[in-house]
Structure 1
């Protein structure tokens, strides 16, 4: 039964991947109910979104066609509603080439970046139109969810400023909504400074607070504790201890960097807030030959793993073997 319902929902225009098991049955029933009942019933009474996506991790872009019964308003706004809380964002309604009314909106999310102060949760979307002293509102219907695209880049999954996550979804009746989530605990690499004198790493903490942290450089069977110094709110710098990272053989040694604290979890340094599919290739850094004081020369190569973790590879200079 689950398989047949899932197939029917997909053939009816749904593009969402439905997992197997009890959740698959619920998701397939929900999708079938939406596409076969609610969307057709509400089609002529709602503004239908032709495009809805979060492109930069924090700006919701909307484009919709309005019902024929709507007059051209003097001004319009998109209403974000969750329970009794409401926020308004400016929208533009205009006449299209075929005489239809169209709506465009770009909603910046997050009070920290000067946008809509909508916190975590599911926020339903409606279009409110003003003509003189009259006001009319219609729901924003999302017949099709955003479709992921292929290529070297992907949609931003989180705000590059705050780390908060925003995605476009829809209710069981097809109404569009924005689902906001707080930033996941992470340590984002801000900059890697390389010179012949050494390597330093700047990072910022997202989604959590750390108390008197320190850095640990971890390789196979080795662990080096290194102090960090604050640069600003939740921003820190640490020096790479190259004088203690000399390879024990001709085999390169790979060092991961972890931000630690006494009472909270340890977090690995990396780059998470980006839209590239291959951070190792796109964020590539040059290698450099360095000679720590009193040590043999080594080749130092900071790089990012496919998962986005920062890793420092140290290799003995061939002449040193």
Structure 2
């Protein structure tokens, strides 16, 4: 008799690993909404809205507990360990006489905002009335819900690439979780003329040493030097002379930044809020005649994932 061993379905281990986490998350939600939020609601500022839409600004709208008067001044306090950072908030009365707080807190020293570093930052509200100061927790009943449409909330600062997201403590207090920029080569500008194509880009979240670019198509690879424009910014000329298609079908060239440490990063445009970069950041195609070669049609574009790509097609007359 031949015995057979039944193998678990693919992904079954990952599914089983997720189940305990899902149960813990569900228990946490029940405790938060059934115990902590009701107990704290009368002693905290309740956030009706909290979101980071542009990747670097925390937008808050909160209501103070009943019977809390209009303060002379209000500010948001970001606390991590012994560090405390503050940002201005605006207090005003709502139509029903309730006291409301609005704030837009720009994050990141490089953009002129609050100089937060990586880690979890607890958000609190400090009220000043005369000589009296009162500090309240900011209660976040529900985390931000992603919205649908042609745009989406940005997950990183478009300037620095640093990432900020809103979170909650076990008891429902709002906090900001900040982390550094992911290593990326972000396209800044594409120059397209009848003489050729050049690409300006910046490197975020990494330092590159003695960099160069590789233009890669199916079975083909061209190395190309890059020019330093400034700190972390570079330019590369697209080597069109080596890129004419070898057959009737077009060739699609991806661009990879490399350096002597072995690091490689695909050039792309990802620090944006659009869902379809291929359509929104569309670029025109152009007929270019590389020296010593027949003319070809060059079309720089972005893939749906945001990677930069150059498509080269033979001119019909040159076939």
Assess same fold via TM > 0.5. Answer: yes
Task: Work out the CA distance in 1 between the residues paired with 2:314 and 2:262.
Answer: 36
| Aligned-residue RMSD, C-alpha | 0.9
Superposed CA deviations along residues 153-193 of structure 1, whole A, max 9, x for unmatched, are 00011101000011111111000011111100000000000
Task: Work out the CA distance in 2 between the residues paired with 1:143 and 1:246.
Answer: 58
Q: Is the CA contact (8 Å cut-off) linking 1:210 and 1:264 kept in structure 2?
A: no
Task: Work out the CA distance in 1 between the residues paired with 2:68 and 2:262.
Answer: 55
Task: Work out the CA distance in 2 between the residues paired with 1:99 and 1:255.
Answer: 62
Tell me if 1:129 matches 2:127. yes
Task: Work out the CA distance in 2 between the residues paired with 1:255 and 1:216.
Answer: 9
Alignment correspondent of 1:111: 109
Moved over 6 A (4+): none
Tell me if 1:272 matches 2:270. yes
What TM-score, normalized to structure 1? Answer: 0.93
Alignment correspondent of 1:163: 161
Tell me by how many angstroms 1:112 deviates.
0.5
Superposed CA deviations along residues 46-85 of structure 1, whole A, max 9, x for unmatched, are 1000000012111100000000132211101011011111
Stretches of structure 2 that go unaligned for 5 or more consecutive residues are 1-16
Alignment correspondent of 1:217: 215
Alignment correspondent of 1:15: none
Tell me by how many angstroms 1:23 deviates.
1.4
Tell me by how many angstroms 1:20 deviates.
3.6
Report matched runs for 1:131-210 at 5 Å.
131-210=129-208
Alignment correspondent of 1:54: 52
User: Aligned pair count?
Assistant: 303
